[in-house]
């Protein structure tokens, strides 16, 4: 019995863990999808952004360097702009080719093709790189697309996304706390009803489900009310059974008493041949009287 109780208690704790994990995993997955959609993908930079203000001037300088000095002048301009970073600066002509004849990164081709003609910057954030494209027309009337491509390193990613990581940590903490609360909100009432059921199994018919469960407005509250009704009904049945037994016992005692007196009188007047029969009758009467 003790082992069975321990097994039931372990299963109830497993229910809490299962509910917690289901809520937690679901919330984390949804949170990851939301965060991924915010951090990874293609988007248009608002015109009010700082990069949108500097892009036209930088693009015109790049086009002017190329048109005035050729590929060598643009290469020098790119080295100056690049500095010690791993950024790669592309100037793509109207034919879709880099002026330095370099292959355009495959992951940046979509934003090069979808770059806007209204002067808005299109950016793309991926798992391995980030890039930005800006379409413009130089002062000489030639169309170009400026592409800035930068591979992502883990250290630089952590440095540039520190606020996002802090946001993720806070989100995970909130999700964990909410999952714990929801798991307790669901599994807690079940534990209360389970404890009451154990008391009923031990013979305590005055126990009821915890009052706070009945105040809920869900299926668990209905379960608690049904449990209380069941225990009350069992108590009434047991009480009725006891009353019936007491009534039957009381009703049988008077006839049995008269029967005992009759047997005693009969024994005085009986012969030896009927003595054994009278003893059997007295024995049966005693058994019935003892059961009452």
What's phi and psi for 10, nearest 5 deg? -65, -40
Q: Could you give the C-alpha distances from 67 to 138, 148, 182, in angstroms and in order?
A: 9, 19, 65
Identify the pLDDT of residue 50.
61
pLDDT band for position 124 (50/70/90)? confident
Task: Write out the residue range of the structural domain in which residue 283 sits.
Answer: 233-291
How many H helices and E strands in the chain?
A: 8, 5
Find the Cα–Cα–Cα–Cα dihedral 101, 104, 105, 107, rounded to 10°: -170
Does residue 161 form part of some domain?
Answer: no
Does residue 287 form part of some domain?
Answer: yes
Say whether pLDDT at 6 is over 50: no
The whole-angstrom separation of Cα 283 and Cα 260 is 10
H or E element that contains 146:
strand 143-151
Does residue 78 form part of some domain?
Answer: yes
Residue 190 near residue 12, CB atoms below 8 Å:
yes
Does residue 213 form part of some domain?
Answer: no
Q: What is the pTM of this model?
A: 0.48
Domain count within the chain = 2
The whole-angstrom separation of Cα 278 and Cα 287 is 14
> What is the CATH number for 110?
3.30.450.160
Identify the pLDDT of residue 71.
92
Radius of gyration of the CA atoms of the chain, in A: 45
Does residue 104 form part of some domain?
Answer: yes
Does residue 20 form part of some domain?
Answer: no
Residue 179 near residue 24, CB atoms below 8 Å:
yes
Q: C-alpha 60: how far from its chain's center?
A: 53
Look up residue 243 and give its two tokens.
């009353």
- Residue where a domain stops, chosen among 152, 187, 214: 152
49 and 147 inside one domain: yes
- Residue where a domain stops, chosen among 125, 152, 179: 152
| Of the candidate ranges 42-56, 100-114, 197-211, 260-274, the one whose mean pLDDT is the lowest | 260-274
The whole-angstrom separation of Cα 129 and Cα 107 is 8
- Residue where a domain stops, chosen among 126, 152, 178: 152
């Amino acid at each position: 019995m003790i082992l069975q109780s321990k097994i039931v208690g372990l299963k109830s704790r497993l229910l809490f863990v299962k509910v917690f994990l289901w809520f937690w995993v679901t919330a984390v997955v949804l949170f990851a999808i939301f965060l991924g959609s915010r951090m990874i993908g293609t988007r248009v930079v608002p015109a009010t952004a700082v990069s949108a203000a500097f892009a036209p001037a930088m693009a015109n300088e790049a086009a002017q360097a190329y048109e005035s000095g050729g590929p060598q002048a643009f290469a020098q301009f790119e080295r100056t702009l690049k500095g010690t970073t791993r950024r790669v600066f592309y100037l793509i002509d109207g034919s879709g080719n880099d002026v330095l004849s370099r292959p355009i990164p495959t992951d940046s081709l979509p934003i090069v093709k979808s770059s806007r003609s209204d002067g808005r910057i299109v950016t793309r954030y991926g798992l391995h790189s980030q890039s930005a494209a800006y379409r413009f027309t130089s002062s000489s009337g030639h169309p170009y697309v400026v592409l800035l491509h930068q591979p992502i390193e883990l250290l630089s990613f952590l440095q540039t996304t520190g606020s996002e990581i802090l946001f993720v940590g806070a989100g995970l903490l909130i999700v964990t706390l909410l999952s714990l609360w929801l798991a307790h909100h669901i599994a807690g009432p079940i534990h209360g009803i389970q404890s009451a059921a154990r008391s009923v199994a031990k013979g305590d018919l005055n126990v009821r489900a915890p009052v706070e469960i009945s105040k809920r407005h869900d299926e668990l509250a209905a379960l608690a009310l049904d449990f209380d009704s069941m225990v009350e009904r069992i108590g009434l049945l047991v009480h009725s059974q006891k009353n019936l037994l007491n009534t039957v016992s009381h009703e049988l005692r008077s006839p049995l008493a008269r029967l005992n007196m009759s047997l005693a009188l009969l024994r005085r007047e009986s012969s030896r041949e009927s003595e054994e029969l009278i003893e059997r009758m007295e024995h049966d009467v005693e058994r019935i009287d003892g059961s009452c």
